[in-house]
Amino acid sequence: MRGLFVVVEGLDRAGKSTQVSRLASALDAKAIKFPGNIPREDRTTAIGKMIDSYLVQQSELDDRAIHLLFSANRWEARQGIVTCLESGKNIVCDRYAFSGIAYSCAKGLSYQWCKAPDVGLPEPDVTIFLDLSVEEASRRGGYGEERYESVSMQSKVREAFAQIRKDMPQGKWVVVDAGKSVDEVAAECESVVRSLAKPSSASLAPLFAQQ
Ligand code: DGP
């Protein structure tokens, strides 16, 4: 039986890293993160380095070019994800194609265009959206120097995530209130995953295949 593929999404400061690590321990899963690559949590591949330099505002790139780089960073990790799941190991993943769509749509690119490069990636069994208001997110330690870390950008990202939610098949997108305590959020995330049916087939469905 293959492992479960669980994605955690949300705005900057929603608590994804903490919850990914809690959930990965609870499920004895491998924790991975985008942008980045398996098994490292940093931005070390050639593509990861370009993304990093863009995020820390050391380089400028066309909005579509950076969108494609984020997608390419997921594609370069695809085989690793598949191999891990097929070996029976669960994966908990911090951000995925949904962040790709949300952040680029927030910059004004079209939803369909943003979705296209990620069509066919391994489809998560479930995506947990850690929901937090922009105001509350911005109060959590404030935003740093990275691109996108502003209230106006995060508000648009939140709207884009709401659009993605409407587009997701029943049961594939679960919203968890990220304003609760760390323990409460962790318990809810764990219960979402424990209530999932065992994967019905050994292989993963392609993402956005029916749309
Ligand atoms: P994080 O390491 O999770 O804090 O992400 C760094 C920043 O990159 C964060 O502001 C969100 C943004 N980001 C993550 N994934 C994507 C993506 O696929 N596309 C775009 N445009 N931005 C992304």
Question: Does 148 sit in the ligand 1 pocket, CB within 6 Å?
Answer: yes
Q: Say yes or no: CB of residue 15 within 6 Å of ligand 1.
A: no
Instruction: Give the three-class secondary structure for 170.
Output: coil
Residue nearest to atom 5 of ligand 1 (CA): 35
Q: Tell me the CA distances in angstroms from 136 to 131, 145, 173, one per residue in order.
A: 10, 18, 22
From ligand 1's centre to the CA of 200, what distance in Å?
Answer: 31
**Does the structure show a pLDDT above 60 at 38?**
no
Domain 5-194 has what CATH class? alpha beta
* 160-184 pLDDT, tens digit each: 999 999 999 999 999 999 999 999 9
Domain extents for the chain?
5-194
Strand-pair partners of 192: none
Ligand 1, atom 16, lies closest to the CA of: 100
**Separation between Cα atoms, residue 35 and residue 100, nearest integer Å:** 10
> Contact, 91 vs 81, CB < 8 A?
yes
pLDDT digits (tens, 9 = 90+) for 51-106: 989 998 999 999 999 999 999 999 999 999 999 999 999 999 999 999 999 999 99
**Which residue from 64, 71, 103, 161 has its CB within 8 A of the most atoms of ligand 1, so it is best to mutate?**
103
pLDDT digits (tens, 9 = 90+) for 100-157: 999 999 999 999 999 999 999 999 999 999 999 999 999 998 788 789 999 999 999 9
pTM over 0.85, yes/no: yes
Residue 154, both tokens: 């995060």
**Does pLDDT of 200 surpass 80?**
no
* DSSP 8-state class, residue 116: G
161 lines ligand 1 (CB under 6 A): no
Q: What is the pLDDT of residue 117?
A: 98
